[in-house]
Amino acid sequence: MSEVSPSVFEIAVLPGDGIGVEVTQSCVALLDAAQKQDRGPVLKLTTYDAGAQHYAKGGEALPARTLDAARNAHAVLFGAMGWPDVRYPDGTEPIPQLDLRMELDLYAGVRPIRWFAGLPQVLSNEKARAIDFVLVREQTEGLFYARGRGEVTDAGEAFDTMKISRPGTERVSRFAFELAQVRQKRRGKEARVTCVDKANVFTSMAFFREVFDSVAKQYSGVRSDHAYVDAMALTMVNKPWTLDVLVTENMFGDILSDLAAGLIGGMGMAPSADVGDEHGLFQPAHGTAPDIAGLDKANPGAMFLSGAMMLDWLADRHDQPDLARRARMIETALEMVLARGAIRPMEYGGTAGTKAMTEAVIAALPEAARQLIEV
Ligand code: ATP
């Protein structure tokens, strides 16, 4: 990556399969429209093939050209990939997003969960309006290390191995503490990182906790604590407004992030970023949702928020405050549309499909831009 900040940012766009294609199309239209509202750097968005359906048509699930483009781009915008019944000859599914995490060393899966006006209030407690936490999921090892390595023995036993390394745990823990520091500045509240593990049962998890504790000592301004993963599942339902930043291994993070999305009404408003030291990939936390694919029913909100996370990441990395302002404009436009309630996504029982939601958020951009200037 060059030292001098570029004026054009190359973005590799990988729409993938199912609703991934629909929400990506919407997000590209929104990013283009937002760009026209300011004089900041230009994003050059180029689309590349990848995914289960590309594989089923005779291509590769992750063609070398696409991987190269992802590696050379300033950031990757990713829809969703995977499709029922599309399998490799050995029975496993093509899951290019997991390959990209390994290839680009995207070790931190960042999943923010925030309630805002217009989202369903799933929990009856009024305090649930204050839900605002981030789950950081380690993404290059943990139980997912077993992918492609599991074995079934002649004795009729199956084994999948969890890998927890010191460097892997140190870097994801540091990431979580640094994120907590940034949130502390923004929210003006005490920062806290919670290590989510099962240290009372597994050696690997006790080691994860020990390494986390050694990193915690380097961040004296941030509180740290621990929770067992089962207790955290309960806390997420009982009092999620008390959470700040959570860090956990790959599989626990996979499960808890769907639970967390459920707290704000479903997958349609849960963004995510897969971040490493050199690369960043931004995608909604949801999958391809074959049940609603191609029907204009998907909520593009999670994808919009992922696009905003991409702008923030680029802004920070290349010292481009205009891009951070553009991210706020997108978030504000989405918040305005949902809060006014005239447009309600089908996911929440309304009538607005993907296209209607996209048009409404794009139409709200100028007002969002004005509101940000006035603040
Ligand atoms: P994966 O196995 O990769 O998690 P999936 O398609 O089986 O993928 P998800 O995409 O996570 O599962 O979603 C589960 C269900 O939630 C979908 O079947 C769909 O009904 C709903 N859903 C997910 N994303 C959205 C969205 N953006 N808008 C509306 N509904 C959604």
Q: Is the pLDDT of residue 296 over 60?
A: yes
| Ligand 1 touching residue 267 (CB < 6 A) | yes
Query: What pLDDT is stored for residue 3 in this prediction?
Result: 58
| Ligand 1 touching residue 305 (CB < 6 A) | no
Provide the CATH topology of domain 123-263: Isopropylmalate Dehydrogenase (3.40.718)
CA-nearest residue, atom 15 of ligand 1 = 289
Helix or strand (DSSP H, E) at 94: none
Query: What pLDDT is stored for residue 375 in this prediction?
Result: 65
Residue-wise pLDDT for 180-191, tens only, equals: 999 999 888 899
Average pLDDT value over all residues in the chain: 95
Domains 1-106+271-375 and 123-263 share a fold: yes
User: What CATH class is the domain 1-106+271-375?
Assistant: alpha beta
Of 265, 247, 368, residue with least CA distance to 308: 368
Query: What pLDDT is stored for residue 91 in this prediction?
Result: 85
Q: Where in the chain are the domains?
A: 1-106+271-375, 123-263
Report residue 259's pLDDT band, with 50, 70 and 90 as the boundaries: very high
- d(CA 353, CA 283) in angstroms, rounded, equals 19
- d(CA 49, CA 119) in angstroms, rounded, equals 33
| Ligand 1 touching residue 288 (CB < 6 A) | yes
Contacts of residue 158, Cβ cutoff 8 Å, sequence gap at least 6: 150, 151, 152
CA-nearest residue, atom 10 of ligand 1 = 287
For strands 223-228 and 192-197, give the pairing.
Answer: parallel
Instruction: Kindly state the average pLDDT of the residues 258-274.
Output: 95
- Kindly compute the dihedral angle of the four CA atoms of residues 149, 150, 154, 158, in this order, to the nearest 10 degrees: 160
If you measure from the C-alpha of residue 214 to the centroid of ligand 1, how many angstroms do you get, rounded to a whole number? Answer: 37
| Ligand 1 touching residue 139 (CB < 6 A) | no
Q: Are 24 and 15 in contact (CB under 8 A)?
A: yes
Nearest-atom number in ligand 1 for the CA of 285 is: 11
Residue-wise pLDDT for 194-223, tens only, equals: 999 999 999 999 999 999 999 999 999 999
- d(CA 159, CA 151) in angstroms, rounded, equals 5
Query: What pLDDT is stored for residue 2 in this prediction?
Result: 45
CA-nearest residue, atom 2 of ligand 1 = 287
If you measure from the C-alpha of residue 20 to the centroid of ligand 1, how many angstroms do you get, rounded to a whole number? Answer: 10
Q: Are 157 and 118 in contact (CB under 8 A)?
A: no
CA-nearest residue, atom 4 of ligand 1 = 287
If you measure from the C-alpha of residue 267 to the centroid of ligand 1, how many angstroms do you get, rounded to a whole number? Answer: 6
Q: Is the pLDDT of residue 147 over 80?
A: yes
For strands 192-197 and 158-159, give the pairing.
Answer: unpaired
Q: Is the pLDDT of residue 277 over 80?
A: yes
| Ligand 1 touching residue 41 (CB < 6 A) | no
Q: Is the pLDDT of residue 1 over 50?
A: no
- Detail the DSSP E strand segments found in 57-210: 75-80, 108-114, 132-138, 151-152, 158-159, 192-197
Nearest-atom number in ligand 1 for the CA of 347 is: 29
- d(CA 83, CA 54) in angstroms, rounded, equals 10
Residue-wise pLDDT for 334-374, tens only, equals: 999 999 988 999 999 999 999 999 999 999 999 999 998 87
If you measure from the C-alpha of residue 62 to the centroid of ligand 1, how many angstroms do you get, rounded to a whole number? Answer: 22
Residue bearing the bigger pLDDT, 240 or 90: 240
Query: What pLDDT is stored for residue 92 in this prediction?
Result: 87
- d(CA 29, CA 129) in angstroms, rounded, equals 30
Nearest-atom number in ligand 1 for the CA of 302 is: 27
